Amino acid sequence: MSKGAPRTPGWWFGDEPVPAWARLLAPVYAGLSSLRARLYRAGPLRQRRVDAPVLVIGNLAAGGAGKTPLTVAVVQKLREAGWRPGIASRGYGRDDPEVPRWVTAETPAGEGGDEPVLMARRLAVPVRVDRDRAAAARALVEAGCDIVVCDDGLQHYRLARDLEIEVVDGARRYGNGRMIPAGPLREPVERGRCCDFRVVNLGHGAEQGGTGFGEWPMHLRARAALPIAGGRPRALASYIGIRVHAIAGIGNPQRFFDMLRGLGVGVVPHAFPDHHAYRAEDLQFGNDLPVLMTEKDAVKCAPFADARCFSVPVDAELPAAFWVALLDRLERLR
């Protein structure tokens, strides 16, 4: 039984009826969203451009879709191709969201945001958090980056971009297809046609869905459990047949639980809201069973994690043809 509960309304991705108040508010949200986009595209609201290509990775449906694993994979490929990438992020969930900040591997999650800190630890590249992503991009270019990768920000039109990648949850897709708050959509599904690439997150197995025409499949692979308090990694196969507490405070916690179960692990699931601010008592379950959690949760639990606690990082895998197509498009902008 979960100690916390995701905040996603049950009607977004489930079968619950949409409340009347949500149906009434959805056209208001849709109208304001459409007006803002038109004002930026038509010129009254000016977009800011920086002296480097800008690649935005985002999604139309609120909640997790796999943007951060894809961002990590993209930055790794860019470095291999000779680029000097930097990452711009809002840093959602920071204690001081109004203060721009450079994020390093040593930055506490409360200051840098869980996802930026995760990326700073995985990647040796500059990471800048700022509510104004245009300002973050400008700081990255001034720091020597020759390409800016935005983790999220598809709807942050103030920053002009050269390429867009839409990420779609392969299991949940666009939910009920309605706009917020009646559904999960930040913008209409048709907005995705403007994106240069659509990547579908199939999670840890193709059983979660497939891809359609013009869509690129992405799988997430987890290979080891890393002790958060320090020590040697442990193969996930070593947990087969063992009961564990599984912690997931992400957009779709069920994906993490299903992945562990698919490996033969006995999962006691604990779903928390996305970007949950963990406390030590959240990890107390009255027994000494191992505690496995997502990498995103681990960066917040590190200050009080004990020997029971392990992080399970995932790597995004995409077809070789995707990387060829993406790098070819970016090479034209170099």
pLDDT tens, position by position, 279-293: 888 888 888 899 999
Q: Domain residues of the chain, as ranges?
A: 43-219+317-331, 224-313
| DSSP H or E segment with residue 300 | helix 295-301
Q: How confident is the model at residue 6 (pLDDT cuts 50, 70, 90)?
A: very low
**What confidence tier does 205 reach under pLDDT thresholds 50, 70, 90?**
low
Give the tokens for residue 154: 């598809």
pLDDT greater than 90 at residue 24: yes
pLDDT given at position 292: 95
Is pLDDT larger for residue 160 or for residue 4? 160
Residue 289 class from Cβ within 10 Å (0-12 exposed, 13-18 middle, 19+ buried)? middle
Residue 329 has pLDDT above 90, yes or no: yes
CA distances (Å), 12 to each of 34, 114, 310, in order? 21, 25, 31
Predicted confidence at residue 1, as pLDDT, reads 38
Specify whether the backbone of 68 is left (phi greater than 0), alpha (psi in -120 to 50) or beta. Answer: alpha
- Least reliable range by pLDDT among 11-15, 46-50, 303-307: 11-15
Residue range 107-119: mean pLDDT, rounded = 89
pLDDT digits (tens, 9 = 90+) for 65-110: 889 999 999 999 999 999 999 999 988 878 888 889 999 988 988 8
CATH 3.40.50 describes domain 43-219+317-331: yes
N- to C-terminal Cα distance for the chain?
Answer: 51
* pLDDT tens per residue, range 208-262: 567 777 899 999 988 899 999 888 899 988 999 889 999 988 878 888 898 898 8
Percent of the chain exceeding pLDDT 90 equals 51
